[in-house]
Amino acid sequence: MALEFLYSLVLIFGISAFLLFVLGKLKIPSIVGFLVAGVLIGPYGFDLVKDVHEIELLAEIGVVLLMFTIGLEFSLKNLQVLRTVVFGGGLLQVCLTIIVVAFLSYFYLAQTLNRALFDGFLVALSSTAIVFKMLLDRAEMNAPYGRAAIGMLIFQDLCVVPFMLFVPALGGSSGGALEIALTLIKAALVIAAVLLAAKWAVPHILHQIVSTRSRELFVITIIVLSLGTALLTSKLGLSLALGAFLAGVVISESEYAAQAVSDMLPFKESFTGLFFIAIGMLMNLGIFLNNMAMVITVVIAILLIKIAVTSLAAFLLGHSLRNALQAGFYLAQIGEFSFVLVVAGKAHGLISEELYQTFLSGSILTMILTPFAIGASSSLSSWLVSKPGLHALERLHRDYARQRYPEKMADHVIVIGFGVNGSNLSRVLKASKIPYVVLELSSATVRKAKRKGEPIYYGDGASVEILHKLGIKTAKTVVVAISDAAVTRRIVQIARAENQNIYIIVRTRYLAEVDDLVSLGANEVIPEEFETSIEIFSKVLRHYYVPVNVIREHIDAVRSESYRALRSVALPRKPLADRHGLLSEIEIETFLLKADSPAVGQMLGELGLRTKAGVTVLAIERENKAHPMPSGSFRLEAGDILLMIGKRDDIHCALAYLDTGLLPQRDA
């Protein structure tokens, strides 16, 4: 039995590794590889894995670990920041999806009302695992559409518990509303108890564990907390996933969250891969091929409904139409917890066998299509917004969100994006009295910054009309500091076409985007990953006493030709080591002149520190004012602080000379 299980595990990971390698060469996301691997090796494919049940158990552990790490990354503070999106946008998205799907199911599929509501439950959930992974891989967690998607996903995960509670009631095997109410109260009490543990018990336990300095004990404790909390909530009638999420939130409130994420990440990645493989195993290729037209119709219907409803929810929450549509593309798939829900629904007679298999096939296809839909979301969203009907809707929202654009300006800076980079740049421009305007797509950010007096306006930087309103024709510089690569390229293209003389500076995340942006007309492209490397090697070279001008030459070499130079820069190692040895004897020291010092009243040249002691005075501080490189005529006073540089023995000699007026004898 053990050998058979090991054989299945090796087969699964072996085929998955091969598919991931091939698909990676084709730039296709790994999630697609896992799902395809599951379809191929599952009982409805080549039937290579015999004991599917044990793989499903490992996959369930994968879901638990996934939700645990999500809880670690979303502490109570982060949830507080996202509360409007979670409880506003999430509630709106879930309720609207249930209503639309139930309506279509009731009138077009002739389902009973209970079954129609259950269908709405299934479609309302999206895949936390896929969307979070895509957002992390694309570095879009903090983009407006990324935050909208994250908030709605958190609310969907919270909805799994009440959905599971309502399944028996919809199937007619529940004790009624009283039983559901009691279970919900129990859930609330469990959540409250866990959150209290976050504040009092867990930090104390982890502190005691860490004090032992045993990494093995720390890892085991984290695993026990995550799996144990999940098991506890499951025993109390709630979901394993909710318990794991709460355990993550508990640990996230301690100072050991970063170490916990680091230690659990390998487990999560491995088991989450198994989860997607197990999902792929559920797909019955025979039913799919025999009912292809129906399955494709279901897939199209799910995608259209979820994109439309999610976009509407995000739009009503205050996001621009383009960002709302992008959030819709991110959440267009069926979620992993829908598979748990559909199994429970089937057991209670809420879904027929034929519709069950059709739903499974369609759901897996939506998951497979998700990475491609996300990849095209920016272009598709911009294209849709340009259509007459949606364009008019976006214009209404823009008119509502913005204040009157500024009067005509000249030689100003246009800052597109008011994130960390945009806000820091604005602060410097304001301090330097350089005229500037800011363009931002988040209406909430615009309102908040307006109250602080920022010249900020709501709008899409990819709109020629809006750039004209901000004076693109007369501006001297435009700085693009947004996360959306596709929109950044369009902004650069438009700015260069509208003003041939404007200086375009673009912040991008990756080196691969530099050449495209330069070819479109950008003057300066600053990839964050290389700027980080510059900061690192600059500090390393300074630590080895490399002259500042040499460091600057290396930095200029990196930044020249759009950062291509870094690929071939070879820093000499031996000279650095030699310099470090050469300077190891050099010291920098300070000396406070007291009133009884013989040096008081003398001019620096008369004192002769360089000729008599061999040290150089770099600066003198007097009454909190620095006098760098003082001349020989500088007269010393009591209270002066001298900053000197020289060899160690010379420094000691100079200190004695300043203190006593006598030069000590040196060893021959």
Q: Phi and psi at residue 642, in whole multiples of 5°?
A: -95, 130
- State residue 170's pLDDT score: 81
Whether 23 contacts 280, CB under 8 Å:
no
Distance of alpha carbon 91 from alpha carbon 238, whole angstroms: 20
Whether 305 contacts 123, CB under 8 Å:
yes
What single-letter amino acid sits at 136? L
The answer, yes or no, to whether residue 586 has pLDDT greater than 60, is yes
Is the Cα dihedral 576, 579, 581, 584 positive or negative? negative
**Where are any strands of DSSP class E within 431-476?**
436-440, 456-458
User: What is the maximal distance between C-alpha atoms in the chain?
Assistant: 107
| Residues in Cβ contact with 636 at an 8 Å cutoff, skipping those fewer than 6 apart | 593, 599, 600, 601, 602, 603, 604, 607, 620, 642
Helix (H) or strand (E) holding 507: strand 503-508
What single-letter amino acid sits at 184? L
Give the tokens for residue 393: 């809707």
- State residue 133's pLDDT score: 76
Distance of alpha carbon 212 from alpha carbon 162, whole angstroms: 41
Give the tokens for residue 417: 């994006």
User: What is the rounded average pLDDT for all residues in the chain?
Assistant: 79
Closest CA to 119 of 345, 340, 297, 322: 345
Distance of alpha carbon 5 from alpha carbon 60, whole angstroms: 16
Distance of alpha carbon 73 from alpha carbon 63, whole angstroms: 15
| Residue labelled with tokens 């469990």 | 190
Q: Phi and psi at residue 354, in whole multiples of 5°?
A: -65, -45
Q: Phi and psi at residue 480, in whole multiples of 5°?
A: -105, 115
Helix (H, G, I), strand (E, B) or coil at 639: coil
CATH number for the domain running over 585-660: 3.30.70.1450
The answer, yes or no, to whether residue 583 has pLDDT greater than 60, is no
- State residue 28's pLDDT score: 73
Q: Kindly report the number of other CB atoms within 10 A of residue 631's CB atom.
A: 9
Closest CA to 609 of 639, 651, 664: 651
- State residue 339's pLDDT score: 80
- State residue 573's pLDDT score: 40
The 10 Å CB-count burial string (b at 16+, else e) for 204-236 is eebeebbeeeeeeebbebbbebbbebbebbbee
| Residue labelled with tokens 């739903």 | 359
Identical topology for domains 410-522 and 585-660: no
Closest CA to 339 of 330, 328, 331, 351: 351
Q: Which of 42-46, 258-262, 343-347 has the lowest mean pLDDT?
A: 258-262
Name the pLDDT band for 578 (thresholds 50, 70, 90).
very low
Helix (H) or strand (E) holding 477: strand 477-480
Name the pLDDT band for 378 (thresholds 50, 70, 90).
confident
pLDDT (average), residues 345-369: 86
Distance of alpha carbon 333 from alpha carbon 366, whole angstroms: 5
Pairing label, strands 641-647, 586-592: antiparallel
Closest CA to 186 of 230, 229, 233: 233
| Residues in Cβ contact with 168 at an 8 Å cutoff, skipping those fewer than 6 apart | 174, 348
pLDDT (average), residues 190-211: 75
**Cα torsion for 48, 126, 299, 39, to the nearest 10°?**
-10
Distance of alpha carbon 483 from alpha carbon 417, whole angstroms: 9
Could you report the per-residue pLDDT of 75-131, keeping only the tens digit for each?
666 666 677 788 888 899 999 999 999 999 888 887 888 889 999 999 999 988 788
The C-alpha angle with vertex 129 and arms to 285 and 27, in degrees rounded to 5, equals 70
Strand partners, 587: 646
3-state helix, strand, coil in the chain (%, to 5): 70, 10, 25
Is the Cα dihedral 163, 165, 171, 172 positive or negative? negative
Give the tokens for residue 99: 């209503």
What's the CATH superfamily of 410-522?
Answer: NAD(P)-binding Rossmann-like Domain (3.40.50.720)
Whether 455 contacts 406, CB under 8 Å:
yes
Q: Domain map of the chain by residue range?
A: 2-384, 410-522, 530-580, 585-660
The answer, yes or no, to whether residue 1 has pLDDT greater than 60, is no
- State residue 570's pLDDT score: 40
The answer, yes or no, to whether residue 400 has pLDDT greater than 60, is no
The answer, yes or no, to whether residue 402 has pLDDT greater than 70, is no
pLDDT (average), residues 254-277: 71
pLDDT (average), residues 200-213: 80
The C-alpha angle with vertex 288 and arms to 282 and 289, in degrees rounded to 5, equals 140
Whether 416 contacts 442, CB under 8 Å:
no
Strand partners, 644: 589, 617
- State residue 81's pLDDT score: 63
Distance of alpha carbon 652 from alpha carbon 462, whole angstroms: 66
> pLDDT: is 275 or 469 the higher one?
469
Q: In the sheet that 503-508 helps form, which strands lie side by side, from edge to edge? A: 456-458, 436-440, 413-416, 477-480, 503-508, 524-527
CA distances from 196 to 186, 226, 247, 270, 421 (A): 15, 16, 12, 31, 37
Name the pLDDT band for 55 (thresholds 50, 70, 90).
low
Give the tokens for residue 213: 């300095």
Structural fold of domain 2-384: Na+/H+ antiporter like fold (1.20.1530)
- State residue 575's pLDDT score: 44
